[in-house]
Structure 1
Amino acid sequence: MDRLSLIGAVLAIVALVGGSILKGSGLSGLWSPAAFVIVIVGTIAAILLQTSMPTFMRALKMVAWVFKPPAHDHAAVIAQIVEWSTTARKQGLLGLEAQVALQSDPFLGKGLQMVVDGVEPESIRQMLEIELHGQSARDLAAAKVFEGMGIYAPTLGIIGAVLGLMAVMKNLADPSKLGHGIAAAFTATIYGIGAANLALLPVGNKLKTLVNAQTLEREMIVEGLIAIAQGENPRNIEARLSGYVH
């Protein structure tokens, strides 16, 4: 569990709700079905128009990463690669064959299998980098779904405010409705700006950071596997890969 993300989410709710209460608007001031339809439903509609279904579904699956990000223990990965390189120097590459089935990461398992099979180092690099860049591109596109929603939401909030003010203008003859109508109009703006800056944009940026961290780890794995295939000294491999940690 990512405690910082959890704390941030709680503080975002406290800031919005607490601010509304302290300003005298109360909880009722934050609720507007019309604003919800215009901003939230409208934002979802806009992002669906620009996003393919596989990318949108990937984005929904990646939301969980905000609170439970994928584990990245670079030191443990380096130690594992160094251990494999030591085994390979003592027993040959076939000595690593039993390790292939034990890998929970398909990317690592695929790369290790190619090393065991004696595939040329450059061929291993090409195949793994193609897979790495393809997965990274798909994950970044999914993260940008939330970034796109964060761009659309404030604009739709303004549209909701304008529509609300148009409704107010129709009731100028009845002053008793003006205050409530204007407050309802600006609720849409709060929905748009609040959703963008307290949820959508932070989530998008967090996911992009996690994708970049995963890509960096896989680049390290590629370098390590190539070094094993080339028969490099385990100490040299450890020294080279340590640069990814620091």
Structure 2
Amino acid sequence: MDFATLLGLITGIAFVGLGVAQGDDPSIFLNVAGILIVVGGTVSVTLVKFRIASFFSGIKEGFSVAFLESNDNPREIIRLANHLAKIARRNGLLGLEDEPIENPFFAKGIQLCVDGHPPEFIQKVLYNEMSMSIDRKQLGEKVFRNMAGSAPAFGMIGTLVGLVQMLNNLDDPSKLGPGMAVALLTTLYGSLIAQLVMLPLADKLALKGGELEANMSLITESVLGIQEGLNPTVMDELLETYLPEYLRSGMSMSEEI
């Protein structure tokens, strides 16, 4: 569970809700017509841009990655690679067959080594797997980022609809209020959906996608180094170059904090 994503959304919605609740009648911020225009329009235009399967897959993948998935600590990947390298040098690659490896991508790479495939084939398989995984993550980001771009636009469309309704009823003061409510609230809804939900989720998906790509590159280099029989110390120095600067001290993230 990614508690940062959950906490950010909850606190954001809570603070906006508290601000709304300070008024005399919070129910004035609920407008069915405005919600239909913004939400319905945003979903509809996103469906136009993507295939139906891609849309639902992107939504599912996006929420799953943003709220549930967490990438492995690259420090732990290097420690595991060091451990596996020592076993491989001592017992050969077949000695890795029964080693427990939780990361499925790492496990696949080690299994390819155990099966005796040449390094060129292993590298190609792992790179293809990495490319497909990154594409799946990026699909969710693209869907959310497109929705973030469409929501404010439909907020403005709702504003125009509300203004037309208001101007069309200037002779009836009782209808001016509802028209103005649609005009203002749709802009509010569009901005909230984009800035509080869709855009932050798209940015979180981009961040996690970058971390995943870095980890998979690190694992690929680890697998190739293990197959080559690199000295564990030499391999550690090589893998260190894949780490961001703040992780190159030799301490885990929890130890740094």
Q: Same fold (TM over 0.5)?
A: yes
Which residue of 2 is the match for residue 97 of structure 1?
Answer: 97
Which residue of 1 is the match for residue 159 of structure 2?
Answer: 161
Which residue of 1 is the match for residue 253 of structure 2?
Answer: none
Which residue of 1 is the match for residue 58 of structure 2?
Answer: 59
Distance 2:235 2:54 in 1: 37
Distance 1:3 1:91 in 2: 42
Distance 1:74 1:238 in 2: 12
Which residue of 2 is the match for residue 37 of structure 1?
Answer: 36
Q: Retained in 1: the 8 A contact 2:156–2:187?
A: yes
Aligned pairs (5 A) from 1:164-175: 164-175=162-173
Deviates more, 1:201-210 or 1:67-76: 67-76
Q: Retained in 2: the 8 A contact 1:112–1:225?
A: yes
Gaps spanning 5+ residues in structure 1: where? Answer: none
For residue 155 of structure 2, what is the amino acid of its counterpart?
G
Gaps spanning 5+ residues in structure 2: where? Answer: 248-257
Question: Does residue 1:190 correspond to 2:153, yes or no?
Answer: no
Q: Residue by residue, what CA displacement relative to the aligned partner does 1:3-27 show, whole Å, maximum 9, x if unpaired?
A: 33233212321332233344x4742
Distance 1:241 1:71 in 2: 17
Q: Residue by residue, what CA displacement relative to the aligned partner does 1:101-151 show, whole Å, maximum 9, x if unpaired?
A: x43433222211111122222221122111101220221122110000000
Q: 1:183 to 1:53 in 2, by over 3 A?
A: closer
For residue 208 of structure 2, what is the amino acid of its counterpart?
L
Distance 1:210 1:20 in 2: 33
Question: Does residue 1:86 correspond to 2:86, yes or no?
Answer: yes
Which residue of 2 is the match for residue 226 of structure 1?
Answer: 224
Which residue of 2 is the match for residue 69 of structure 1?
Answer: 69
Identity of matched residues, % = 33
Question: Does residue 1:19 correspond to 2:19, yes or no?
Answer: yes
Q: Residue by residue, what CA displacement relative to the aligned partner does 1:43-101 show, whole Å, maximum 9, x if unpaired?
A: 111111211234323323331332333241222221111111111111111111123xx
Tell me the TM-score normalized by structure 2.
0.88
Q: Residue by residue, what CA displacement relative to the aligned partner does 1:163-221 show, whole Å, maximum 9, x if unpaired?
A: 11111112100123313321232111111111001110010110111111111111100
Which residue of 1 is the match for residue 140 of structure 2?
Answer: 142
Deviates more, 1:222-231 or 1:64-73: 64-73
Which residue of 1 is the match for residue 255 of structure 2?
Answer: none
Distance 2:223 2:19 in 1: 54
